[in-house]
Amino acid sequence: MIEESKLLNRVDFRQVTIEQLNHVLNVVTEGDGKKINILFLTNFGLIQGEITDPFNEAEDYEPTFFQSVIKRTIEFRSEAIAEAEENNAATRAVNDGAYIPLKNVVIKHHGSAGTLKIQEMILFTEHIVGISFSDSSLE
């Protein structure tokens, strides 16, 4: 029987910080109609988007196609790594950083005046250099 992957026992500092910042921003703006956006500073530009949860299990939650694909991909990834670790105790995952699922994404490249809009994406935390927040959009 395959044990759960050691990936499930890891905590990513950036991911937890971002999740908690998102929670705090949601709490402090609850009921006032104000939208605060988290800004992710990366080596290639600024990224702005709404954090989503492809593993949301609420009854009234209907995941998008993208979220369903990401959820299954993450599950398959964890199973594949667990199997590799079981088959060879010396196996270690590399580049095993966490990710932040985003929707309604706007990307502003450092070298460009324009922006790129993406409906949904995954931002791997190892690409995040810093975070901030703003009540204005990058658009």
| Domain harbouring 35, CATH code | 2.30.30.100
Whether residue 80 lies inside any domain: the answer is yes
Q: Residue holding tokens 């109609």? A: 33
Whether residue 1 lies inside any domain: the answer is no
Give the pLDDT confidence score for residue 109 in this predicted structure: 92
Whether residue 36 lies inside any domain: the answer is yes
Q: Which domain holds residue 53?
A: 6-134
104-134: per-residue pLDDT in tens? 999 999 888 889 999 999 998 889 999 999 8
**pTM of the complete model:** 0.75
Give the pLDDT confidence score for residue 96 in this predicted structure: 64
Two tokens, residue 23:
């929670």
DSSP code string of 45-84 = EEEEEEE--TT---TT----HHHHHHHHHHHHHHHHHHHH
Whether residue 50 lies inside any domain: the answer is yes
Say how many domains are in the chain: 1
